[in-house]
Amino acid sequence: MSKRLKIAIDGPAGAGKSTLARLLSERLGIPYVDTGALYRALALKAYRLGIREDEEEKLAELAKNSNIEFRRDERGLRVLLDGEDVSEEIRAPHITLLSSPVSQHPKVREALLKLQRELAKEGAVMEGRDIGTVILPDADVKIFLTASVKERARRRYFELKQKGYDVDLEQLEKEIEERDKRDATRNTAPLKMAEDAVLLNTDNLSIEKMVEEALRIVRERCGIK
């Protein structure tokens, strides 16, 4: 398959975007780009510097003056913030929480737009919230991944438990619901499905079935037999 394919995967937290994007990238031989990691890295830097989540100008300046890069090694995709590997730190629950309000600011999103398009230039499986609608409106394939709140909370619960965090399932459900609402109703790049995206619900799909289904969509959309 073509190396320069641009595949956009959008959807709410916990729908399976990262898993799907990573596996599709392996199967198709196209780089994987996790755009949520950009907002997370920015949130981490703001946190360290004591910049508040409502300081839009400062956050946008920070975004412009930060160097966020992706590297691949045997552990998978690594995220470098000004040269420092922050791959684990950006997944901590307090940074997850902070990345949501940080990502709401139009100026912050604008500051990260060019970098995202640059990252997809040579082809990419790019996952996020506004890839099909804003970042890559001309993507070859757009998939909008969903799953019920219960299922997404359950997945996040096991993921965090495995990393040693003490979490509460009900609390996670509540947080996911709130985050969904905020992401869907914000003014800038709200989470919504692109008109030409294909909806894929992962509630009752195994990972293997999800990947197979996505590959079928890619083949169909790109006219590949």
Catalog residues that contact ligand DC under the rule CB under 6 A. 13, 35-36, 39-40, 99-100, 103, 128-130
> Minimum CB separation from ligand DC for residue 130, in Å?
5
CB closer to ligand DC, 185 vs 225: 185
> Minimum CB separation from ligand DC for residue 38, in Å?
7
Strand partners, 37: none
Would you say 139 and 6 are in contact if contact means Cβ atoms under 8 Å apart? yes
User: Helices in 29-148 by DSSP H: which ranges?
Assistant: 36-49, 56-64, 93-102, 106-119
Taking CB atoms within 8 Å and a gap of at least 24, the contacts of 98-103 are: 98/43, 98/46, 98/47, 98/53, 99/36, 99/39, 99/40, 99/42, 99/43, 100/179, 100/182, 100/183, 101/53, 101/54, 102/39, 102/42, 102/43, 102/46, 102/53, 102/59, 103/39, 103/43, 103/129
CB closer to ligand DC, 123 vs 128: 128
> Minimum CB separation from ligand DC for residue 77, in Å?
12
> Minimum CB separation from ligand DC for residue 191, in Å?
8
> Minimum CB separation from ligand DC for residue 187, in Å?
12
Would you say 181 and 149 are in contact if contact means Cβ atoms under 8 Å apart? no
Residue that is written with structure tokens 């990972």 in the block = 207
CB closer to ligand DC, 1 vs 89: 89
> Minimum CB separation from ligand DC for residue 110, in Å?
12
CB closer to ligand DC, 25 vs 103: 103
CB closer to ligand DC, 36 vs 93: 36
CB closer to ligand DC, 1 vs 167: 167
The pairing of strands 32-34 and 124-128 is parallel
